[in-house]
Structure 1
Amino acid sequence: MSFDGAFTHAMVHELDTTLSTGRITKINQPYDNEVVVTVRANGHNYPLLLSANPTYARIQITTIPYVNPPVPTNFTMMMRKYLSGGIIQSVTQMANDRVVRINLTSRNELGDQQNLILIIEIMARHSNVILVDAASMKILDAIKHVGSDQNRYRLLLPGAQYIEPPKQELTDPFGGPLANLAETVANYPNVEVLAKELQHQYQGLGKDTAIALADDLHQPGDLVDLFNHFFTRFNDPQPTLTIYSNNKTSFSAFPYPAPEDSQRDEDSTLSELLDHYYSDKAERDRVQQQGSVLIHVVRNELKKNRTKLKKLQQTLSQSDSADEYRIRGEILTTYLSQLNRGMTSIELPNFYDEMKPIQITLSNQLTPSQNAQKYFKKYQKLKNAVAYVNEQITLTEANINYFDSIESQIELAAPKDLTDIRLELEQGGYLRDHDHNKKKNKRKAKVSAPETFTSTDGVKISVGKNNLQNDKLTLHTAKKTDIWLHVQKMPGSHVIIHDSHPSDATIKEAAELAAYFSKGRQSSNVPVDYVQVKRVHKPNGAKPGFVIFTGQKTIYVTLDAEIVNQLK
């Protein structure tokens, strides 16, 4: 389900109940298009996410952790100036549109009370978060500035008059049904066709909501009662996540009609439901946005090395024919007297193949002896190239494995993990360090801590999320008697069980973590090697994250994401 007007209605009701009279204590902008406003209400801190993300725009209370940038943005500073210590009076919705208003009071620099409105417009790529002075309706700031060259209807710039988004000439369904409802239902017996017609008549109905309403209206009973009952349920929601047989998911304020083979999970609040739904999707989107430069560098390096490997393999295959050049040179030397300058080819007996004749190409610009020497030189050149080419193939394959592992780490990374990956690429010379000239004596960058889990036996398990974390965890942090795990023959995280004699259950859980944080994440029956840390070594000059080990045992696991979540 999309975050449509009807879902917005339910969310506004939840937020108004939870946050009204709450005080704003913190304001942060961890991502370009998203602000987190911490509200202290009823003895609890509620991190309120205001997202103008083009794909995942929404408003909700979130428990997903985030990392703040080292320097706050101008928008963050403006928000802090006006809203710090402010009191939320109410949370309202504009008709049944996806526009939410948070009405606040705060004190200005002189201590006088001022009324402000924080407006969240949830409209796909046009989504925005706008701070407005309630008395004059002047825009104080917006998370996305929109000038006249982008929108002729209205400006979204500091100092401009706030103009509401264009209104649709549709009816708010929470005000009751239209008089012609019975006629409409009678004219459209097909549920999907009726759903489209309902979208043309009522404001804020997404496709799923319209289909669910159409399905209800085709049930026995009074149409007005069915209609009113459907929209009354948004005031007392049953937050529902529907999982379909193809593993796609959708969310709704209460259970919508779904195929029999689908599964349903229920959450206690709409905000928990959205955390459940967006936790992975939004993280991947943030990583794609913030790590776009890293992804570009890694993919370019992979492409370059794969092209190089292909050429090296072609060169190596040509060296297999080196003996053919030697044979031609020896035959020409043996029958040198039969050659004359100016000949372009000659057929001679091949004493290496039962004297069968062999056709040998000659250069008419060379003497017979020079033609023979030309074949010997080609033979020697190819033989000398074999050792070099084999060495280059080994190095190139190592580079491909290295960048393949970084690509996998980016795919599995949280936004906070990208800092270490960027640092690693800068240290390797693959990515320019734009800050290296600013502070000649700047401190050495600190590698972030690995992710920590706890087994059902209470044993601590650490997981490196990138190569720098892997090296630090395995080579410097772990005890020699701890247990080290890694998926077999594919990129993945180093996993450490901080126990010298863990139970079989702990080993299995750690192996599932190793499989989860690896390229085999979507596979079943994943082989995971495990061994004591003292048997793991890093070769001299090896790239970050690369180690060798001996004496390992192997366990096969099929990943269960629910177990991974329970271990956090």
Structure 2
Amino acid sequence: MPMDGFTLHYLSNELHEALVGARVDKITQPEKDEILIAVRNHNENFSMLFSASAGCARAHVTHIKKNNPLEPPMMCMLLRKHLVGARVTDVRQIDCDRILEFEFEHYDEMGEKTTKTLVCEFMGKHSNIIFTACDGKIIDSVRHVTEQISSVRQVLPGLFYQRPPAHGKIPFLQVDTKLLAEKLFSAPPTLHKALCECISGLSTQTAREIAFRTLGSEDAVISGLSLDTLAEAITNVINEMLQEFRPNILYLPEEDTPCDAAAIEYRSRAYLKSNPQISLSTCLDEFFRARDSAERIKQKSATLHKVLKTNLDRTEKKLAIHEEALLNCERSEDYRIKGELLMANLYMIERGAKIVSVPNYYDENLTPMEIALDEKISPTANAQRYFKLYQKARSARKFAQEQKELALEELRYLEEQLLCLENCTEEAELAEIREELETQGYVRATRSRRQIKKLPPSSPLRFEAKSGTEIFVGKNNRQNDALTASAKPGYVWLHAKDMPGSHVIITRENPDAETIRYAAALAAKYSKGRDSSRVPVDYTLKKYVKKPSGSKPGFVIYTNQKTLYVEPVQ
């Protein structure tokens, strides 16, 4: 949904009716850029959500509950100090733009009535929530904008709040046909781009709808048209749209997940399924429920993803070094043979010689072998030198082999964690992955363990086969270990063969072939091979699955397995 001035026009009217007169009961800040204010009005309790998230900036009534940090951020404490017990006196949109102001009235420490304002700017990555005093001075904001960030407009505590520059556009509620025609004369030839340049408060999506209703195409051009006639038609379309408040959620055909929400019915998007709602807040709450959660997970997992990729690249380089060392160590036998041949032919080697040719007793044809010598030492010392090189190469080979195996194990673990991160859909799962990486030493522990444990443990995915048998799929190593450890010995355990993937458990002994195949397809879907059309999946009884002592989380060894080749579940 475009949170443009057009949508905010409807939203401000809706929130004005719902909030004016409401009493503030509670304030929380579940995210650094998100504030929840619980209020009571019209004998009803509800919450207002204010978000300055780059991809999900919005303000609306919500019924979604969220976990809060153990210690409230400074912005939250300031809002509690000034607004708990206050009354909402006004909700207004500023100049048809992407700005909403929420005005509160309360009594200060001196017992005098005063006002405070919460300014919400919905401007993509520059979105902000700014708390100001009655004189317009900024008390605090979700995002501080310094002079280094913007030389035009700073947002810092103690400064006076300044609204973003207007750019000389026409407010869509006050479109003057003559002025619009003049602006269209120097505007881009594509109508929707011209509208965005001439009229304030229009997103590209809304401008495309106006173009569609005016000229029958979202990409219509204005070249060769009468600008006066066009401006009049545009004005009529805008006035028509302003009378069509029909909040609805949009879905792609054959899909159940919302793809968008709108304040009106977009005729240019008639191919989408529409589900009318009673309010714009209901639309926003429903649409952003899944999208916001996914966006938050993506933001919070970005640091972990970077850590894993950095360690993965480092481990791959280590592996290449150890493999090269092993190749170099293949000459160790050559050193031993040269040492033995020198010892067997000491009598024919002159001291000070730089090279000697001796019969190679290890060759069937006794082909002579040339051996380089150090002329500064005796023939015996030269033989001993080759034996030392042999011993050194053997030791180096053993060390390189051990390090290669460790690097391979770490590589498997890191790839497994990357897959877990991709499968992550809940904050509890993300917290568990982070805690594991902290324990393994990949991430520095910067948060309180108590805060991590406050989140309830995440649960594995549950599926049901046609036979009615339950199948569980782990989404991270904690879930994988717990699933495998709690499974009965006769249950079937599955895992994608030779690649990172989830542990899958069929909770039944002797399941039918169709159930096993379905579980294998699930194991393929939740593995690194999910994009392949044919994935090998091993399955065996749980009693044949063992976790070595001291091994990394999620790691097991198994025997007596069979392999199925399946297509991942779509």
In the alignment, residue 101 of structure 2 is paired with which amino acid? R
Q: Output one character per residue of 1:66-109: Cα deviation in whole Å (capped at 9) or x when no partner.
A: 43212111111222333335554554321221111234445666
Give the CA deviation at 1:398. Answer: 0.9
Aligned partner of 1:547 in structure 2 is 556
**Structure 1, gaps ≥5 residues long:** 244-248, 561-568
Aligned partner of 1:390 in structure 2 is 401
Aligned partner of 1:381 in structure 2 is 392
SS of equivalent to 2:178: coil
Give the CA deviation at 1:171. Answer: 0.7
Matched, 1:74 2:74: yes
Q: Output one character per residue of 1:517-548: Cα deviation in whole Å (capped at 9) or x when no partner.
A: 54445555555555554443211111111123
Aligned partner of 1:418 in structure 2 is 430
Q: 1:373 to 1:454 in 2, by over 3 A?
A: closer
2 CA distance for matches of 1:149 and 1:140? 20
Q: What is the aligned counterpart of 2:476 among 452, 466, 482?
A: 466
1 CA distance for matches of 2:143 and 2:420? 31
SS of equivalent to 2:312: helix
Q: What is the aligned counterpart of 1:323 among 333, 339, 349?
A: 333
Give the CA deviation at 1:51. Answer: 2.0
Q: Output one character per residue of 1:306-358: Cα deviation in whole Å (capped at 9) or x when no partner.
A: 22211111122223333333343344444444433333334555552645454
In the alignment, residue 30 of structure 1 is paired with which amino acid? P
Q: Is the Cα contact below 8 Å between 2:8 and 2:98 reproduced in 1?
A: yes
Q: Is the Cα contact below 8 Å between 1:239 and 1:270 reproduced in 2?
A: no
TM score, norm. by length of structure 2: 0.78
Q: Is the Cα contact below 8 Å between 2:494 and 2:539 reproduced in 1?
A: yes
**Structure 2, gaps ≥5 residues long:** 218-229, 254-258
Q: Is the Cα contact below 8 Å between 1:455 and 1:506 reproduced in 2?
A: no
Q: 1:144 to 1:214 in 2, by over 3 A?
A: same
Aligned partner of 1:173 in structure 2 is 172
SS of equivalent to 1:417: helix
Q: 1:311 to 1:128 in 2, by over 3 A?
A: same
2 CA distance for matches of 1:344 and 1:527? 58
Aligned partner of 2:311 in structure 1 is 301
SS of equivalent to 1:129: strand
Listed as ranges, the matches of 1:193-212 within 5 Å are 193-212=190-209
Name the stretch that deviates more: 397-406 or 17-26: 17-26
Aligned partner of 1:235 in structure 2 is 245
Q: Output one character per residue of 1:279-325: Cα deviation in whole Å (capped at 9) or x when no partner.
A: 66654553455455544543343233222211111122223333333
Listed as ranges, the matches of 1:487-526 within 5 Å are 487-496=496-505, 517-524=526-533
Aligned partner of 1:246 in structure 2 is none
Q: Is the Cα contact below 8 Å between 1:182 and 1:223 reproduced in 2?
A: no
Q: Is the Cα contact below 8 Å between 2:494 and 2:503 reproduced in 1?
A: yes
Q: Is the Cα contact below 8 Å between 2:248 and 2:274 reproduced in 1?
A: no
Q: Is the Cα contact below 8 Å between 2:69 and 2:451 reproduced in 1?
A: no
Listed as ranges, the matches of 1:328-347 within 5 Å are 328-347=338-357
Matched, 1:143 2:119: no
In the alignment, residue 326 of structure 2 is paired with which amino acid? L
1 CA distance for matches of 2:162 and 2:505? 56
1 CA distance for matches of 2:344 and 2:60? 88
Q: 1:150 to 1:545 in 2, by over 3 A?
A: same
1 CA distance for matches of 2:291 and 2:306? 21
Q: Output one character per residue of 1:241-278: Cα deviation in whole Å (capped at 9) or x when no partner.
A: 569xxxxx7765544747x9x86675746566666766
Q: Is the Cα contact below 8 Å between 1:287 and 1:410 reproduced in 2?
A: no
Give the CA deviation at 1:498. Answer: 5.6
Q: Is the Cα contact below 8 Å between 1:52 and 1:58 reproduced in 2?
A: yes
Name the stretch that deviates more: 375-384 or 115-124: 375-384
In the alignment, residue 420 of structure 1 is paired with which amino acid? E
2 CA distance for matches of 1:272 and 1:371? 87
2 CA distance for matches of 1:210 and 1:250? 16
1 CA distance for matches of 2:313 and 2:569? 31
Q: 1:6 to 1:149 in 2, by over 3 A?
A: same
In the alignment, residue 431 of structure 2 is paired with which amino acid? T
2 CA distance for matches of 1:449 and 1:550? 30
Aligned partner of 1:370 in structure 2 is 381
Q: Is the Cα contact below 8 Å between 1:242 and 1:265 reproduced in 2?
A: no
Q: 1:408 to 1:19 in 2, by over 3 A?
A: farther
Matched, 1:34 2:46: no
Q: Is the Cα contact below 8 Å between 1:173 and 1:231 reproduced in 2?
A: no
Give the CA deviation at 1:173. Answer: 1.7
Aligned partner of 1:214 in structure 2 is 211
Q: Is the Cα contact below 8 Å between 2:490 and 2:541 reproduced in 1?
A: yes
CA root-mean-square deviation: 4.5
In the alignment, residue 450 of structure 1 is paired with which amino acid? S
In the alignment, residue 31 of structure 1 is paired with which amino acid? E
Aligned partner of 1:563 in structure 2 is none
Give the CA deviation at 1:121. Answer: 0.8
1 CA distance for matches of 2:455 and 2:565? 30
Give the CA deviation at 1:404. Answer: 1.9
Q: Output one character per residue of 1:147-194: Cα deviation in whole Å (capped at 9) or x when no partner.
A: 56655655534454333222231111233453265687799895xx23
Name the stretch that deviates more: 314-323 or 102-111: 102-111
In the alignment, residue 423 of structure 2 is paired with which amino acid? L
Q: Output one character per residue of 1:32-87: Cα deviation in whole Å (capped at 9) or x when no partner.
A: 22223345667876554322234543334567664321211111122233333555
Q: Is the Cα contact below 8 Å between 1:450 and 1:473 reproduced in 2?
A: no
In the alignment, residue 336 of structure 2 is paired with which amino acid? R
In the alignment, residue 540 of structure 1 is paired with which amino acid? S
SS of equivalent to 1:235: coil
1 CA distance for matches of 2:137 and 2:152? 16
Give the CA deviation at 1:454. Answer: 5.4
Q: 1:378 to 1:75 in 2, by over 3 A?
A: same
In the alignment, residue 216 of structure 2 is paired with which amino acid? Q
1 CA distance for matches of 2:76 and 2:10? 28
2 CA distance for matches of 1:62 and 1:493? 35
Aligned partner of 2:411 in structure 1 is 400
Q: 1:444 to 1:211 in 2, by over 3 A?
A: closer
Give the CA deviation at 1:219. Answer: 3.1
Name the stretch that deviates more: 88-97 or 547-556: 547-556
Q: Output one character per residue of 1:469-510: Cα deviation in whole Å (capped at 9) or x when no partner.
A: 4323432x5555666554443333445566668788887776
2 CA distance for matches of 1:506 and 1:65? 37
